[in-house]
């Protein structure tokens, strides 16, 4: 998730406007920043690694000449957060500049094709293929306008993008386009802006034009023109007035970052499905040849590891050990060796316990692989190979979108390993891949249909003294995660354990009216879960079940239920089943007047042991 901005002004220099607008998009990423403008037929550029203020202090981002320009604040996906990888990116002639947010899935193929034509690439980004493609098309079709060349180039892109491009060939034109990544225009008396998000231009105007997937916009002194990328047909769209305050705009109209991030999950999951194959292959090579594999993490990331241990075992027939990072050194520190692999999972990539576990294993020559949401973090620097979870910056302290994105990547890895180890048939692989591809839509439906219902249930149970969270099989991980979400933001003491453990002790706590949340995915555990529900009911517990739509057997015995769509394979269930639990925790916190974004005593990144 990066922030892009572009503008064509009637009066004044573009660069200070771009600079201040990028500052408002900094929550989308801040690894590096860059601005390009055009003046007197020439492109001017400033870009650098670091936060916007640091780069501005060194370079002065406000003094580029010209009334037209583009800018970018980066959250690294392809290529480390270095100056060379920061946007804008250029073609070989330096006459075409592009900023981009999204992921170009077929960039390796395009890069090779362009390199064979003699194009020289300077960065490790996927974005750089775009200006080179535009250049190649302009060379091939000299009669093409700049926007025609952009249109032809983006027809060849697979993946997601919101991009803005300028060229000294046509110095008074700004072209932008969208597929999946957000893009919106702002219209003011002094010019037209394009941006990833409304806050970028909200102080300048509240007149906006939303751009849809598959659309291209040409901005000139005469105004804006929207076209379909597919066939160039014109689209008429008048501006709308947005009645948002700046604070609302940063949260895109949501009252809290947490709920915004819950709603972002379908988009994030689509991005995690765009991982580059060779990283999954590399990971599976290392995992396949190790004699023991530890999945090491803290908090929510640990729950993702716990879910992954079921996936690796069930799909790839590979045993792994999920371990709390803070316990790793005591528990396994001495036994780790050159044949061990540590797969560390961390949203921030900076969690002190996780880093300490990794460093200690590294000293004993173990292989370190990692999964993190923060490229350039300590974890990425000390790992042999890492994969980025593509969730975009998460502001709410409670991890939501990063949990489901971690599991999505780990599920893809389990599948890749299963293939490599020849453990499941091609038919099964096709079914599993098909189901993974559907998860973003399944999550979308779940969020949209269960939000209001979760709010009602939260209202009913918010004054409970204690709650239980139970699941069997892979839903043990989901239950643990549901409990953590509720405890950390609603401060309600909660207990979670595998449902089968009830009768070994915890059931003695059950008394009339105590709410027990059961995560009831439809797999081999379903029948036994029903027995566990009956045991609890018999002792007076109130049952809140998270079920598949039309699971009538459980609907009949539950007091309340939240539903996910039908037909979800048990092995992937933690992704959709986590959603109702996130919503429930959020609404309980609101019911109890707690700020879900900033729970007491907690920090987003825990950098002390």
Q: Would you tell me which residues interact with ligand M6R (CB under 6 A)? A: 298-301, 346-348, 351, 354, 397-399, 484, 488, 602, 605-606
Question: Which one, 193 or 328, has the nearer CB to ligand M6R?
Answer: 328
**Shortest Cβ 307–ligand M6R spacing (Å):** 14
Which is the catalytic residue, given 51, 207, 453, 604?
Answer: 604
Residue at shortest CB range from ligand M6R: 299
Cβ-based nearer residue to ligand M6R, 17 or 484: 484
3-state helix vs strand vs coil in the chain, percent to 5: 40, 25, 35
Say which residues have a Cβ less than 8 Å from residue 412's Cβ, sequence separation at least 6: 272, 273, 275, 280, 436
For 333, counting Cβ atoms within 10 Å of its Cβ (0-12 exposed, 13-18 middle, 19+ buried), the class is middle
Which DSSP helix (H) or strand (E) runs through 270? helix 265-272
Query: What residues pair up with 8 in beta bridges, in sequence order?
Result: 68, 192
Give the pairing of strands 215-220 and 174-179.
antiparallel
CB atoms near residue 61 (< 10 Å): 25
Rounded to 10 deg, the angle between the 146-155 and 129-140 helix axes is 120
Distance in angstroms (rounded) separating the CA atoms of residues 428 and 419: 10
Identify whether the C-beta of residue 131 lies closer than 8 Å to the C-beta of residue 96.
Answer: yes
Q: Measured between alpha carbons, how far is residue 128 from residues 48, 89, 90, 162, 245 in Å?
A: 16, 6, 7, 14, 36
Q: How far is the CB of 536 from ligand M6R (least distance, A)?
A: 26
Q: How far is the CB of 267 from ligand M6R (least distance, A)?
A: 20
What's the closest the beta carbon of residue 300 comes to ligand M6R, in angstroms?
Answer: 3
Please, what is the minimum distance in Å from the beta carbon of residue 347 to ligand M6R?
Answer: 3
Tell me the residue length of the chain. 609
Least distance to ligand M6R, CB of residue 593, Å: 20
- For ligand M6R, give the closer residue by CB, 45 or 606: 606
Instruction: Identify the CA nearest to 32 among candidates 79, 72, 77, 90.
Output: 72
Q: Least distance from C-beta 511 to ligand M6R, angstroms?
A: 29
Q: How many other C-beta atoms lie within 10 A of the C-beta of residue 292? A: 16
d(CA 409, CA 345) in angstroms, rounded, equals: 11
Based on CB atoms, which residue is closest to ligand M6R, 444 or 488? 488
Read off the DSSP letter of residue 541: P
Of residues 129 and 397, the one with the C-beta less far from ligand M6R:
397
- Identify which of residues 349 and 515 has a Cβ nearer to ligand M6R in the complex: 349
Least distance from C-beta 489 to ligand M6R, angstroms? 8
CA distance 306 to 402: 15
Q: How remote is the C-alpha of 18 from its chain's centroid?
A: 25
* Min dist. Cβ of residue 606 to ligand M6R (A): 5
For ligand M6R, the closer CB: 19 or 303: 303
The answer to whether residue 2 is catalytic is yes
Q: Is 47 a catalytic residue?
A: no
Question: Minimum distance between the CB of residue 469 and ligand M6R, rounded to whole angstroms?
Answer: 14
Query: Closest approach of Cβ 468 to ligand M6R, in Å?
Result: 19
Q: For residues 402 and 581, give the distance between their C-alpha atoms in angstroms, rounded to a whole number.
A: 15
Closest CA to 264 of 161, 134, 396, 112: 396
Comparing CB distances to ligand M6R, the nearer of 204 and 305 is: 305
Extract the runs of DSSP E, i.e. beta strands, from 334-453.
Answer: 340-346, 367-372, 385-388
How far the first Cα of the chain sits from its last, in Å, is 30
φ and ψ at residue 99, rounded to 5 degrees:
-115, 150
| DSSP classification of residue 295 | E
User: H/E element holding 479?
Assistant: helix 475-490
Distance CA 412, CA 277 (A): 10
> What is d(CA 309, CA 411) in angstroms, rounded to the nearest whole number?
10
Q: How far is CA 561 from the centre of its chain?
A: 28
Q: Which is nearer to ligand M6R, 299 or 482 (CB)?
A: 299
CB-CB contact of 339 with 292 (8 Å): yes
Nearer to ligand M6R, 199 or 322 (CB): 322
Q: Is the peptide bond before 89 cis (omega within 30 degrees of 0)?
A: no
Q: Which of 86/346 has CB closer to ligand M6R?
A: 346
Given the DSSP bridges, would you call strands 184-188 and 191-195 parallel, antiparallel or unpaired?
Answer: antiparallel
Residues annotated catalytic, as ranges:
2, 604
């Amino acid at each position: 998730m990066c922030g892009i901005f572009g503008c064509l002004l009637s009066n004044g220099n573009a660069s200070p406007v771009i600079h201040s607008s990028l500052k408002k998009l900094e929550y989308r990423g801040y690894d590096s920043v860059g601005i390009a403008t055009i003046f007197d037929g020439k492109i001017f550029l400033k870009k650098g690694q670091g936060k916007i203020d640091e780069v501005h202090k060194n370079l002065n981002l406000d003094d580029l000449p010209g009334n037209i320009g583009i800018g970018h604040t980066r959250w690294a996906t392809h290529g480390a957060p270095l100056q060379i990888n920061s946007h804008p990116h250029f073609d070989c002639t330096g006459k075409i500049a592009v900023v981009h947010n999204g992921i170009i899935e077929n960039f390796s193929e395009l890069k090779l094709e362009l390199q064979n034509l003699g194009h020289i690439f300077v960065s490790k980004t996927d974005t750089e293929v775009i200006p080179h493609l535009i250049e190649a098309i302009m060379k091939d079709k000299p009669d093409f306008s700049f926007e025609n060349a952009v249109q032809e180039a983006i027809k060849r892109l697979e993946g997601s993008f919101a991009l803005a491009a300028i060229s000294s060939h046509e110095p008074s034109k700004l072209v932008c386009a969208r597929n999946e990544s957000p893009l919106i225009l702002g219209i003011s008396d002094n010019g037209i802006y394009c941006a990833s998000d409304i806050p970028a231009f909200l102080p300048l105007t509240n007149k906006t034009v939303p751009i849809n997937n598959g659309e291209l916009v040409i901005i000139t002194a005469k105004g804006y023109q929207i076209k379909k990328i597919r066939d160039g047909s014109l689209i008429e769209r008048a501006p709308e007035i947005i009645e948002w305050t700046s604070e609302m705009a940063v949260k895109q109209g949501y009252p809290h970052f947490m709920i915004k991030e819950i709603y972002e999950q379908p988009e994030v999951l689509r991005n995690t499905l765009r991982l580059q194959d060779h990283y999954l292959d590399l990971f599976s090579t290392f995992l396949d040849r190790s004699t023991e594999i530890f999945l090491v993490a803290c908090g929510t990331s640990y729950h993702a590891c716990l879910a992954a241990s079921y996936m690796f075992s069930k799909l790839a027939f590979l045993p792994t050990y999920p371990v709390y990072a803070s316990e790793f050194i005591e528990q396994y520190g001495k036994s780790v060796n050159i044949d061990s692999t540590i797969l560390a999972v961390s949203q921030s990539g900076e969690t002190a316990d996780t880093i300490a576990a990794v460093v200690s294993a590294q000293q004993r020559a173990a292989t370190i692989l990692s999964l993190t949401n923060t490229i350039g973090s300590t974890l990425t620097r000390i790992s042999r190979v890492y994969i980025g979870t593509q969730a975009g910056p998460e502001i709410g302290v409670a991890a939501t979108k990063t949990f489901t994105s971690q599991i999505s990547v780990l599920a893809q890895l389990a599948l890749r390993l299963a293939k490599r180890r020849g453990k499941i048939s091609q038919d099964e692989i096709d079914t599993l891949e098909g189901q993974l591809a559907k998860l973003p839509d399944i999550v979308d439906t779940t969020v949209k249909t269960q939000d209001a219902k979760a709010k009602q249930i939260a209202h009913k149970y918010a004054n409970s003294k204690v709650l239980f969270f139970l699941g069997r099989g892979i839903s043990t991980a989901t239950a643990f995660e549901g409990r953590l979400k509720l405890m950390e933001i609603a401060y309600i003491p909660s207990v979670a354990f595998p449902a089968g453990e009830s009768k070994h002790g915890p059931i003695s706590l059950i008394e009339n009216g105590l709410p027990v949340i059961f995560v009831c995915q439809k797999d081999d555990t379903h029948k036994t879960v029903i027995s566990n529900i009956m045991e609890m009911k018999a002792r007076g517990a109130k049952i809140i079940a998270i079920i598949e739509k039309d699971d009538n057997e459980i609907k009949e015995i539950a007091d309340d239920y939240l539903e996910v769509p039908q037909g979800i394979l048990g092995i992937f269930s933690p992704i959709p089943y986590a959603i109702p639990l996130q919503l429930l925790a959020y609404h309980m916190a609101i019911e109890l007047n707690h700020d879900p974004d900033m729970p007491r005593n907690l920090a987003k990144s825990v950098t002390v042991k």
